[in-house]
Amino acid sequence: MPFVEYKKYCRIEDAITLIKSNYLKKNSLESLSSEIGFISYNTFYSSFKKHNKVSPKEYIDSISGT
C-alpha cells in the first residue's frame, strides 16, 4: 500500500474511533474531517466511502441502528 493511501486509511480509522466515541453529538461531519487531517470534506467523504463501501452518514446510521 502506498504511503498516501496508508495515511488516508489511518485517518479514516481515527474517524471511526471518534464516531464511536460520540464525537458527532457536538460536532459536524465537516468538523470531523478537519479534526482527523483532511483539508476538505469532499476528500474525506471519498476516502471514507472507498474504505468502508458506504458514505459516512450511512455508516453512522448502520451503527446507531436507524
pLDDT tens sequence across 7-58: 999 999 999 999 999 999 999 999 999 999 999 999 999 999 999 999 999 9
> Domain residues of the chain, as ranges?
3-64
What pLDDT shows up at residue 64? Answer: 80
Long-range contacts of 15-23 (CB under 8 A, 24+ apart): 15/44, 15/48, 15/56, 16/52, 16/59, 19/56, 19/59, 19/60, 19/63, 20/63
pTM for the model stands at 0.88
In this structure, how many other beta carbons lie within 10 angstroms of the beta carbon of residue 21?
Answer: 9
In this structure, how many other beta carbons lie within 10 angstroms of the beta carbon of residue 54?
Answer: 13
CATH class of 3-64: mainly alpha
